[in-house]
Amino acid sequence: MSTPEATGSPIHVESADHLDELLADHDIVLVDYHAEWCGPCKMLEPTVKEIAEETDAVVAKVDIDELQALARDKQIRSVPTLQFYHDGEQVKQVIGVQSKEDLVEIIEQLA
Is 41 part of the annotated catalytic residue set? yes
In the set 38, 48, 51, 62, the catalytic residue is 38
Residue 85 catalytic?
A: no
Catalytic residue of the set 41, 57, 67, 103: 41
- The strand order across the sheet containing 81-86 reads 11-12, 58-63, 28-34, 81-86, 89-95
Active site residues: 38, 41
